[in-house]
Amino acid sequence: MNTQTDMPLNESPLLSETHGRSGRHRARPVASWREHHGWSAAASLRRLMSRPVGTLLTVAVMAIALALPLTFYLLLGNVQKMGEALGQNQTISVFLQPSQSASSADLMAKKLRDHASVAAVTVKTPQQGMDELARMQGFSGALHTLDANPLPYVLEVLPKADVTADSVDSLVADVRGMQGVDQVQDGGTWRQRLEALLGVGERAVLILAVLLAVAVLLVVGNTVRVDISSRSEEIGVLMLVGASRAFVRRPYLYAGIWYGLFGGLLAVGFAVLVEWALAEPVARLGQVYAGKLQINVLPVWLLAAVPVASAVLGWLGARLVSAWQLRKAA
């Protein structure tokens, strides 16, 4: 009767369990319920192990679906950390008017240091600016032809690390309105773009995780549906002799849990492999930036939560499909 295990109906574990426990179930219902849960968990695991190829294919599909959002989350975290390492709080360059003197530059620097959003202010003299240009390739010869230094005083304003992008915009607006300021260059424009892109990425990872969670439900549900369909006659006999729907579907629920648990564990393995593959190139990139850049690994709590969440998804998929199939069989 059972096309997948070729087990005769009178030797079916479900059927023998029904006959063997019917009297004891009335005598000690709690013990019988607990024993049947243990038997269902072990029997469903043995059934999965009896067809290793099919089980492995199902688990692998689930693992890939679960590993994708983990990988994107890892990449997103590393992009965010890269932005921090390269300096999300970029210096704001304030170019003073050529008529401004050293005392005017020092006075303006003192005012800016008192600003709530400013961490530090550095005054760069015209001579320092000329020296920087002289060190650049192609400028040293042209500078000798100048009769006077045309460069103005420049204030390099560093915003505080904890200020928001809106606060930096407000700071730039305040600086532009100060007397004696000729031009303001905000090096943090790219920071706002990065924050916007990271916001889009976080939403995309969330949507992807939801979609792939639904995919896991469908994979487990379809697998359980095929299994129940192949044992429809045996299930019909069980229900005729008095087995409840909860009794019949319990092994399938545990099968869904096993599928989800194994898929989650394999997905964690895939994610760890991705971390390992990224470690070496990120380490080389970190050397270029004087050790400021380090790989952002997945948190331990997330890796531990994935198998648990996957097992719950497997149980839910098996629960929904088995309930629907058993209603049809009834």
Q: What is the mean pLDDT of the chain?
A: 78
> CA 262, 1, 11 angle in degrees (round to 5)?
80
Q: What is the mean pLDDT of residues 167-187?
A: 83
Beta partners for residue 110, in sequence order:
none
Pairing label, strands 118-124, 181-186: unpaired
Sorted by sequence, the CB contacts under 8 Å of residue 141 that are 6+ apart come out as: none
The domains of the chain, with CATH numbers, are 9-85+194-329 (no CATH), 92-187 (3.30.70.3040)
Sign of the dihedral through C-alpha 269, 272, 274, 277: negative
Is the pLDDT assigned to residue 6 strictly greater than 50? Answer: no
Residue 173 one-letter amino acid: A
Per-residue model confidence as pLDDT tens digits over 90-145: 678 888 888 888 888 888 989 888 888 888 888 888 778 777 766 665 555 555 55
Residues 57-72: pLDDT tens digits?
A: 999 999 999 999 988 8
